[in-house]
Amino acid sequence: MTKKIFNLLIIALLLVPAITLNAKKPAETKIRVSLQQRPDSPYEGDEGLKVITSNIQLWRPSETAIIICDMWDRHWCDDATARVAEMAPYLNDVLNIARTQGVKIVHAPSDCIDYYKNYPGRKEAQKYNNNKLAEIAKAYNFRGKLPSEEGAVWPVDQSDEGCENIGLKSGHVWLKQIDALTVKDEDLISDSGAEIGSYFKKKGIKNVILTGVHTNMCIIGRSFGLRAMKQMGMNVVLMRDMTDLMYNSAMPPYVNHFTGLDLMIEYIEKYVCPTMVSTDFTGKKQFVFQGDTRSRVAFLTAESEYRANQRLPQFAHDLTMKNIHCDFALGLPIMDEAKPDADAKVKAEYAAYGMSIDTKKSNTEAPTRHNLENLQILDDADLAIFFIRRRALPAEQMQVIKDYVASGRAVIGIRTASHAFDAKGNVPRSGGGIVAATEMDNDMLEQWTDFDKDVLGGNYQGHYGLLETGACITIIPGMENHPLLKEVTPFNSLNWLYKNRPLRTEYAQVLLLGSNPDTPQEPVAWLNGDKIFYTSLGHWEDWKIESFRTLMFNAVDYLLLNIVNYRTKQE
C-alpha cells in the first residue's frame, strides 16, 4: 500500500464519526394520547363552574415515562391486595407495549426498594440528584397541596385508612413489587422523587404518566407523585383505569368503593392534572375491576350552543353519587375549525380548552370538531346519552355508535341529538370545512342523517323563533302517573321550540308538550319504545329547573331498569 493511499484511508476513517453524527436519525413515531381534564368554565355567568374537555396530544416516546406506584406483592388490607393482583396483568400489557415504543418504565415500589439494590435499574437511578428537585420532592411528600387545590373539597373520608375488609393485617407486610409486573434491565427503579425527577430532567423526559395505587394517598402524595411531578414542571397525567383508591364505603360520602374512585379521579381532573386511559397504548377497551358491577352511562357530547360540556358533567356527578359509573366521549364544544389564519377569538377559545392551533409550536394535534374521543366506553355502557350537533365522523367511529344502537341498549337524546350526525354537507376526511355535495364518497367522513328517524323517532324540521318568554312545557293529559314524570310539574323553558310534528315512529309515547303563542303544540319529550328517550329541551338554563332535572334523573332510572329487565329475560 502506497503512502498516499494509506493517508487517504486514514482520513476516510477519521471522517466516519463526523458523517455518522451528521446523519439524520429516523423520526420517532409519536404516541397519540387523549387527555381528559375539567378546567374552569369559559362561559359568562358560569364563574366557579367546571367544564370537561379532551385535549389530544402527540408525545415523543423518548420524552415519555410511566411510573408504577406501590404495586406491592401484598398489602395490609386484603381488599387492596386482591385488586392490585387483578389489575397487574393488564398493567403489564400496557408496560410491554409502551416499552417497545421507547417509553421509559419506572418501577416505584416504596419502602422496599432495597430488594432491588443489585438491579441495573436501581444502580442507574442512584446516579442522579438535583438539589432543587430534591427540595420539591421533600416539600410534596405527603405534605402540601398545589395552589390549584386551594378551596377544593376532598371527595372521600379516608381517616380510617380506607379498608373495608374486617380481618385486617397491620404493619409493613410488603417485600417487593408484585411479580406480575415484569422488570427489565433498561427500566428505572426508585422510590425517590429526587432521583426520578433528576433522571427525567437529565434525559429530556417531559411527559409523565402515573399508574398504580392509591389515587387518594400515594399516587397524589408521594415524592414522585402527581403533585411533586407537576411542581417539577412535568406534563404529568394519571392513567385513570390503571389505579385504585383506599376508601371504606362506611365512611362519607357513603358511596360504593368504585364510586369513591370516580370521585377521586374527578377531583384530580379538576384541580391537579389531566387523566387518560390505557386504550391509548393498547387499542383495547379500558380496564374495569370485576367487582365494579354498577350500571354504566356513556355521555357522548360535542355541541356548541347549550354548554353541554358544562351541564352534563354536573349531571354525571349527581348520577355518580347514586353509584352509577359515568364516562365521557368528547368532541370539541366549539363550532369554528382550526385553520392557520384563524382569528384571535378562535385561538383564545381553543386556548381555554388547553389546545393550540399552531401545531408547529405545540405537541397538540390540530383540533377538529369532526371527532369523538374515547368511544370505547360504549363497549361496556348500559345507557348512552347523546348531546351532539352536526358532526361527521371517521367511519370506524360511526360504526362503534351504530353497533351500540344495534345492540338494543338504552339511548337518551338531548336537544341537538336530533341532528347529531347531519353536517348539512360533506366533510373531507381531513376534518376541514363542509363542502357542497349531494352524496357521500370514500374521501368524506361518515354521517348518519337519519339518526333522528332511525333511533329517536323524531321529525326535526328546525325551530320556531326565540321568544323572551320561552316555551310553556305541559304534561300530556293522562300521563301524569308515568314513571318518567314522577314529581315533574309544568314549567317554562328558555329553549326555542323545535318543530317535530308528526313523529316518525309507531312506538312513540309522548310525555311533554311545548307551546308558544300562535303556534301549534309540539312534542318535546317522548319514549320511542321502552329503551329510547328523547327531549328537545336542554338549554343550559333548563338544568336549573327542578322539574327538568327530575325528568332527566327519572329517564336514566327508567331506562336502566328496563335494560336490567331485558337482560334478565334474555338469560
Residue 167: the pLDDT is 57
Q: What is the signed CA dihedral for 351, 355, 356, 360, rounded to 10 degrees?
A: 160
The greatest distance separating any two alpha carbons of the chain, rounded to the nearest whole angstrom, comes to: 110
pTM over 0.85: yes
Please, which pLDDT band fits residue 483 given cuts at 50, 70 and 90? very high
Least confident of 9-13, 265-269, 550-554: 9-13
Residue predicted with more confidence, 6 or 468: 468
Least confident of 14-28, 462-476, 517-531: 14-28
Query: What's the pLDDT tens digit per position in 63-98?
Result: 999 999 999 999 999 999 999 999 999 999 999 999
The string of DSSP letters for 387-399 reads: EE-S--B-HHHHH
Backbone angles phi, psi at 10, to 5 degrees: -60, -45
Nearest Cα residue to 192 out of 160, 228, 156? 228
User: Helices marked H in 287-330 — which ranges?
Assistant: 308-320
Please, which pLDDT band fits residue 430 given cuts at 50, 70 and 90? low
- Listed as own residue / partner, the contacts of 35-38 with beta carbons closer than 8 Å and 24 or more positions apart are 35/237, 35/274, 35/275, 35/276, 35/354, 36/240, 36/269, 36/274, 36/275, 36/276, 36/328, 36/330, 36/374, 37/269, 37/273, 37/274, 37/275, 37/354, 38/266, 38/269, 38/270, 38/313
Domains of the chain: 60-282 (3.40.50.850), 457-570 (3.40.50.880)
Pairing of strands 410-414, 383-388: parallel
Query: What's the pLDDT tens digit per position in 451-461?
Result: 999 999 999 99
pLDDT average, residue stretch 26-32 = 84
Residue 143: the pLDDT is 87
Please, which pLDDT band fits residue 332 given cuts at 50, 70 and 90? confident
C-alpha cell at 75: 398489602
Residue 169: the pLDDT is 63
